[in-house]
Chain A
């Protein structure tokens, strides 16, 4: 079986998820991990599925993109995406006046410290820019990383907090 990475992006309208999922179901492509959101009114979906050849899926999705409102891409990927958690989970929150390079500078600090960003979202509302990232940090490194983040945030004129991600095992 092929593992496929599919992205669908474009002008939002009701029914895109149903349309894409229907195409995949018809082809016998099993939808595994997926995420979908609206970004400033644009539909954005990324998913992994297991099923037929990439070319077949791309051809089947083509009619959805026919009016030029949606762009769907299909790419075969190697099914080695299961990575063990690489460290301790933390949540980084950054907020402040919007300017160029906030995500670049802050995530570079995390990367240089051996951290791995596993989830990230940003919001721009008025002049307020908000970044929330989930990150795995090398054990015992959080205090030092927090210090570096604080210094970089000060240079950018924004605020930052780094807190352990809560996991409740029930």
Chain B
């Protein structure tokens, strides 16, 4: 991670939301909220600031969770949290952040990878994603626009969450009839 790339967030952290986050229950498919495109939000509204804090709080208590989108806590809205810090597959890492109204503006170097999702707990699937990505969005609270340049695992996480905000699950992007797998559980 270079200083230049980090400048994309301008030193923003979830703590700047200045409200405590509450853990919300995570909804699972086939809940229709997961298939509904979320509307764009006002990033400065108190409701969105609280939602952002709650997404971070919920993500942090969920083992292995590297991203969580508003529809996953039952709210149809274009807001998601991502944090791939410490993940072995991550290269570029921007820490924990929340984006509103995010869009992909550049995508390249498509690679297949196996994805799971907290909202589809029993299945995984092979999905092709861009491994080089530029995303634009706005920060909750300040409403400042940001442009994130990232790659690899963080890029995959961002595309997965942006899809959630558009009402899409990884199941909508699997490569073929034999690209969905029963998740192996070792207990």
- The answer to whether A134 and B123 touch across the interface, beta carbons within 8 angstroms, is no
- Residues of B in contact (CB 8 Å), total 23
User: Which of B4-12, B71-79, B165-173 participates in binding chain A?
Assistant: B165-173
**Is B175 an interface position by the 8 A CB rule?**
yes
The interface residues of chain A lying within 8 Å CB-to-CB of B40 are none
8 Å CB contact of A128 from B120, B174, B176: B120
The interface residues of chain A lying within 8 Å CB-to-CB of B2 are none
Residue interface mask B158-187, A partner, CB < 8 A = 1: 000000000111011111111110100000
**Is B148 an interface position by the 8 A CB rule?**
no
- The answer to whether A119 and B173 touch across the interface, beta carbons within 8 angstroms, is no
**Is A78 an interface position by the 8 A CB rule?**
no
A91 to B171, CA, bound (A): 11
Given contacts A123-B123, A128-B120, A166-B128, contact A96 B35 (CB under 8 A): yes
User: Which of A42-50, A62-70, A157-165 participates in binding chain B?
Assistant: A157-165
- The answer to whether B177 and A134 touch across the interface, beta carbons within 8 angstroms, is yes
The interface residues of chain A lying within 8 Å CB-to-CB of B122 are 125-126, 128
Given contacts A95-B29, A161-B168, contact A132 B128 (CB under 8 A): no
- Residues of A in contact (CB 8 Å), total 26
- The answer to whether B172 and A159 touch across the interface, beta carbons within 8 angstroms, is yes
In the complex formed, the residue of A with least CB distance to B128 is A166
- The answer to whether B180 and A120 touch across the interface, beta carbons within 8 angstroms, is no
A95 to B119, CA, bound (A): 13
**Distance to closest chain A CB from B98 (angstroms):** 26
In the complex formed, the residue of B with least CB distance to A129 is B30
- The answer to whether A132 and B180 touch across the interface, beta carbons within 8 angstroms, is yes
- The answer to whether A128 and B30 touch across the interface, beta carbons within 8 angstroms, is yes
- The answer to whether B182 and A91 touch across the interface, beta carbons within 8 angstroms, is no
8 Å CB contact of B176 from A95, A132, A161: A132
**Is B28 an interface position by the 8 A CB rule?**
yes
A-B contacts, CB under 8 A, total: 68
**Is A82 an interface position by the 8 A CB rule?**
no
Which DSSP category, helix, strand, loop or mixed, fits chain A's interface? strand
Give the most central of A123, A127, A134, A159: most B CB within 10 Å.
A159
The interface residues of chain B lying within 8 Å CB-to-CB of A127 are 30
- The answer to whether A130 and B180 touch across the interface, beta carbons within 8 angstroms, is yes
The interface residues of chain B lying within 8 Å CB-to-CB of A163 are 172-173
- The answer to whether A125 and B123 touch across the interface, beta carbons within 8 angstroms, is yes
**Distance to closest chain A CB from B9 (angstroms):** 32
- The answer to whether A121 and B178 touch across the interface, beta carbons within 8 angstroms, is yes
**Distance to closest chain A CB from B60 (angstroms):** 26
Within 8 A of A (CB), among B91-130: 120, 122-123, 128
**Distance to closest chain B CB from A91 (angstroms):** 6
- The answer to whether A119 and B176 touch across the interface, beta carbons within 8 angstroms, is yes
* Pairs across A and B, CB under 8 Å, 28 listed: A91-B175, A91-B177, A93-B171, A93-B174, A95-B30, A95-B171, A96-B29, A98-B30, A120-B177, A121-B180, A123-B123, A123-B182, A125-B122, A126-B28, A128-B29, A128-B30, A128-B123, A130-B171, A132-B171, A132-B177, A132-B179, A132-B180, A134-B176, A161-B173, A163-B173, A165-B175, A165-B176, A166-B175
